[in-house]
Amino acid sequence: MCGIIAFTGNQAAAPILLDGLRRLEYRGYDSAGICVFNRKKLYNWKSSGKLSALESLLPDSILGSTGIGHTRWATHGAPTNENAHPHVDTTGRIAVVHNGIIENVDSLRLSLLPAKTALLSETDTEILAHAIAHTATKQGGPLIDAVRTVLRQVIGTFGIAVIDRDNPGTLIVARSGSPVILGIGDGEMFAASDVSALSRYTRELVHLDDGEVAELTPQGFTVTTLDASPREKKSTHLQGQLEEHDKAGYAHFLLKEINEQPETVKRAISGRLDEAFSTAHLGGLNLQARDLLDVKRIVILGCGSALYAGMAGAHMIETLARIPATAEAAAEFRYRNPVIEASTLYIAVSQSGETFDTLAAIREIKRKGGFVLGLVNSVGSTIAREVDGGVYMHAGPEVSVASTKAYTSMLTLFALIALLLGRTRDLSVQQGSGLVTSLHNLPVQIDYVLQQHKKIASIAKKIAHSQSAFFIGRTDGYPVALEGAQKLKEISYIHAEAYPASELKHGPLALVTEKTPCVVILQDSDLLAKNISTLEEINARSAPIIAVTDSDEPRIKKLAAHVIDIPKGDALLQPIVMGVALQLLAYHCALHLKRDVDQPRNLAKSVTVE
């Protein structure tokens, strides 16, 4: 979703802003802009479309060492030049970039703007530029006071960065519901909505919390609340290798991330398997064995692919630990006034750690006294900081908008949690030990699927021109089907629906024809006979079947047009391996249709608004 980068120091701001915007591109955007202060004036450039469109407007050299930049993902108003950020007030004094949504635009306009203020865009953000400029002029005093006065009246969410023609070298940033991180440099300061825009310049970071406003100058920063109370903030040092957004020779980030999965799965389990007791060791949960024994129910929350990972995770937990477990759309959770129980363990799942709806669900649970764990990829993200305990995925930055490696890591972590909970209950040493071995073997299983990329590409070629496709799975195959359909929709724009196999004849069969490929997940389980009947039903309607299976049953080959072979393995982990085949299928369909694989239309990487 929208991205912010801001800089103040003693070197040219524009190259830093543009580099930051490039690093934010992966979040998805449809317009971009930068504004730089130089010699008593703000210079603002913005354009709809990709960064290259903005760059084509820029002069060869841009002087000025304080500036702000933004990638916009349209919410209020179309992705036009006018609606792109930064927004500058009518007097040319204040420039603002904003992530989030302001809900009381009309009342702010009435209360904070002179009656005749002409608005040039359809955005909610423009109001902020005018309101801050007008209030700063009216109130006098430091710019930060005017920013606080305006923000106290805003209803909605914001991460903002502001520069002022009349306060050279000063940057004001603020946060409420949309992330803002400060970066401390040597005689310079940075701010961004995402660590990836900062990590090349500094590793000393300060995460703003909701309701905080910071004033940045090249010499340092101060943080206060919206009510001007001072806040002591500690910086954190960004650990690990500097992760460059680099395709490493692959055509797309998506393909690179699909191929990284043997390695990322290894990282997810690394140091977390306890061979001696055939269990998992997850120190970050902040729960003792006794606490785990007291858990009576598990509710998993997430959005999109994280929700589907949660559904697969609930199945794993019920299978191994026999604790009732369900997964629920985080976005719906707080609106249904959920009953929160002390004996229920809540688990929030998020790659970015910034998804607004997941965060809102966590806050609802905590407000009612519940205990929430987080499965998060992005280190130091808001969700990682707000949960009561959790486990990091360690998948590394996921740049492509469609989730792949983070999704498989989510499932892998659920397998570890299921093992841990199972071993505190009735799962035997032998069963636990079998799963530990299978987990170690998981990267090899995934690699086996990756080796079939040519075959999968040829299947994709045959279905890529279909209008619609079905993904069918039974029990733990159903979340696999949901995620497979999600991947195909997202990146190829082919309409895809997932159904539990048993539901097929309760409606969707009416749409199954020779023109609707059906991808069927067939686990080698005692339900195989039922799944073969499903194949028969589909085959009778002449729909081409793509079977994804670890079974050798000859009837599958007879009924299916194509078979993607999955190596035999632990039934609990097969959904992870099968999911990889579906990622490749979606990728090759998208490639064949010449889609923008890494940045599909209308989608953002990190959905930080409701």
Chain residues that interact with ligand F6R, rule: CB under 6 A: 303-306, 350-352, 355, 358, 402-403, 486, 490, 606-607
Position closest to ligand F6R via CB? 304
Half-sphere exposure of 142 (CA within 13 A, CB side): 10
d(CA 46, CA 354) in angstroms, rounded, equals: 26
Least distance between ligand F6R and beta carbon 352 (Å): 3
3-state secondary structure 396-416: CCCCCCCCCHHHHHHHHHHHH
Judged by DSSP in three states, 596 sits in coil
Residue among 134 and 605 whose Cβ is closer to ligand F6R: 605
Residue among 48 and 606 whose Cβ is closer to ligand F6R: 606
Structure token digits, residue 415: 């397998």
Under 8 Å between Cβ of 99 and 608:
yes
Residue among 193 and 486 whose Cβ is closer to ligand F6R: 486
d(CA 466, CA 458) in angstroms, rounded, equals: 14
Least distance between ligand F6R and beta carbon 348 (Å): 9
Least distance between ligand F6R and beta carbon 356 (Å): 9
Q: Which of 2, 303, 518, 589 is catalytic?
A: 2
Q: Which of 46, 256, 405, 605 is catalytic?
A: 605
Structure token digits, residue 224: 């206060």
Query: Strands, E, within 294-444: which ranges?
Result: 297-302, 325-329, 344-350, 371-376, 389-392
Least distance between ligand F6R and beta carbon 8 (Å): 30
Under 8 Å between Cβ of 479 and 575:
yes
Judged by DSSP in three states, 552 sits in coil
Residue among 550 and 598 whose Cβ is closer to ligand F6R: 598
Catalytic annotation on 589? no
Under 8 Å between Cβ of 471 and 589:
no
Least distance between ligand F6R and beta carbon 599 (Å): 12
DSSP H or E stretch at residue 486:
helix 477-492
d(CA 196, CA 34) in angstroms, rounded, equals: 18
Least distance between ligand F6R and beta carbon 353 (Å): 7
Catalytic annotation on 518? no
Least distance between ligand F6R and beta carbon 405 (Å): 11
d(CA 540, CA 37) in angstroms, rounded, equals: 69
Under 8 Å between Cβ of 204 and 189:
no
d(CA 174, CA 191) in angstroms, rounded, equals: 10
Residue among 148 and 489 whose Cβ is closer to ligand F6R: 489
d(CA 127, CA 105) in angstroms, rounded, equals: 7
Least distance between ligand F6R and beta carbon 186 (Å): 33
Residue among 278 and 305 whose Cβ is closer to ligand F6R: 305
Its sign, for the CA torsion 551, 552, 556, 560, is positive
Under 8 Å between Cβ of 11 and 186:
no
| 554 CB-near residues (< 8 Å, 6+ apart) | none
Hey, which residues are catalytic here? 2, 605
